[in-house]
Amino acid sequence: QKEVEQDPGPLSVPEGAIVSLNCTYSNSAFQYFMWYRQYSRKGPELLMYTYSSGNKEDGRFTAQVDKSSKYISLFIRDSQPSDSATYLCAASSGYALNFGKGTSLLVTP
Amino acid sequence: NAGVTQTPKFQVLKTGQSMTLQCAQDMNHNSMYWYRQDPGMGLRLIYYSASEGTTDKGEVPNGYNVSRLNKREFSLRLESAAPSQTSVYFCASSDFRGNQPQHFGDGTRLSIL
C-alpha cells in the first residue's frame, strides 16, 4: 500500500465551481507537502509547497495540511477550463518524495 | 529558461534492443531522478542520484541502469528492452533530495514492441 493515497477520479465540475482535491497519508514523519499539476502529455508542474500543518494561498489555489488527521487538500476557487488536468499530491519526511497516483479534473464551460 | 530537458520525446523499440534516455538540467541542482508513469500506477522512482558521483536504486530499478555524467546530466539505459518497459519516463531534479520540490521534464514516451 502506498504511503500517499489519492482518489483517481475523474472529477467533473462546471466552470466557476470551487474544487476540493484530497489525499491521505500514513507516515507521521512527513513534514513537506506538495501539489503538482500535470497537463496531458506534459511533465508534472509544481503548484504548491508547504511545510508542516496549516494553509498556504497562491491566487486561486489554497493548500491545506492537517497533520492530526494526515490529510492534504488543494482548493481551487473560480475554476476555469484551463484547470483541467491531473493533480498529484506528494509528501516527504526529508528523505524521499512520495507521490499519490493523481486525480483527474475536468472543468466544463 | 529550459529547466529539465529530456531527449528523445518519443521512441519505438523492438524487444531486446537497447536505448539510452538523456536528461539535462540547467538549474544547478544537486539531485536528479528517473521515474516511470503508467496508467493506474502513478509515478514510480526507478533510480536517483542524490549528488554528482552517486546513484541509488528506487522502487523499480530492475532492467535499468543509470549514469550521472556530470552535475547537469543523468542518463537512463535499457540494456535489453522488454514490452513491460513500455511507459512514459520522466526525469526530475531538485536542490537536495527529500524536502525540496522536484522539477520535471516533459517526458519520453517509449513503446516496446
Q: Which positions ≥6 away from A59 have C-beta within 8 Å?
A: none
**Closest residue, chain B, to A38 (C-alpha):** B106
A97 vs A74, residue with greater confidence: A74
Q: In this structure, are residues B32 and B26 in contact, taking their beta carbons and an 8 Å threshold?
A: no
Given a cut of 90, is residue A90 above it in pLDDT? yes
CB A88 to CB B105 under 8 A?
no
Q: Which of A34, A45, A99 sits opposite B43 (nearest CB)?
A: A99
**Mean pLDDT, chain B, whole residue set:** 94
pLDDT reported for residue A72? 96
B72 vs B39, residue with greater confidence: B72
pLDDT reported for residue A23? 96
Cα R_g (chain B), whole angstroms: 13
pLDDT band at B98 (very low <50, low <70, confident <90, very high): low
The three-class DSSP label of residue A94 is coil
pLDDT reported for residue B97? 65
Please compute the mean of the pLDDT values over residues A74-94 and round it to a whole number.
94
**Closest residue, chain B, to A32 (C-alpha):** B99
pLDDT reported for residue A96? 79
Q: What is the DSSP string of B91-103?
A: EEEESSTTTS--E
What values do phi and psi take at A57, rounded to 5? Answer: -120, 140
Q: How far is CA A31 from CA A41, A92, B98, in A?
A: 30, 6, 10
Given a cut of 70, is residue B83 above it in pLDDT? yes
**A67-102 burial string, b = 16+ CB within 10 Å, else e?**
eeebebbbbbeebeeebbbbbbbbbbbeebbbbbbb
Does any CB of chain A come closer than 8 Å to the CB of residue B99? yes
CB A92 to CB B106 under 8 A?
no
pLDDT reported for residue A53? 83
Which cell numbers in the block locate residue A67?
A: 497533520
Per residue in B11-58, pLDDT tens?
A: 999 999 999 999 999 999 999 999 999 988 889 999 999 989 999 999
**Mean pLDDT, chain A, whole residue set:** 93
How far, in Å, CA of B89 to CA of A11, rounded? 26
Q: Which of A43, A96, A101 sits opposite B98 (nearest CB)?
A: A96
Q: In this structure, are residues A70 and A53 in contact, taking their beta carbons and an 8 Å threshold?
A: no
Q: In this structure, are residues B15 and B82 in contact, taking their beta carbons and an 8 Å threshold?
A: yes
pLDDT band at B95 (very low <50, low <70, confident <90, very high): confident
Per residue in A27-75, pLDDT tens?
A: 999 999 999 999 999 999 999 999 888 899 999 999 999 999 999 999 9
Which cell numbers in the block locate residue B34?
A: 528517473
Where is A106: in which H helix or E strand? strand A103-108
pLDDT band at B2 (very low <50, low <70, confident <90, very high): confident
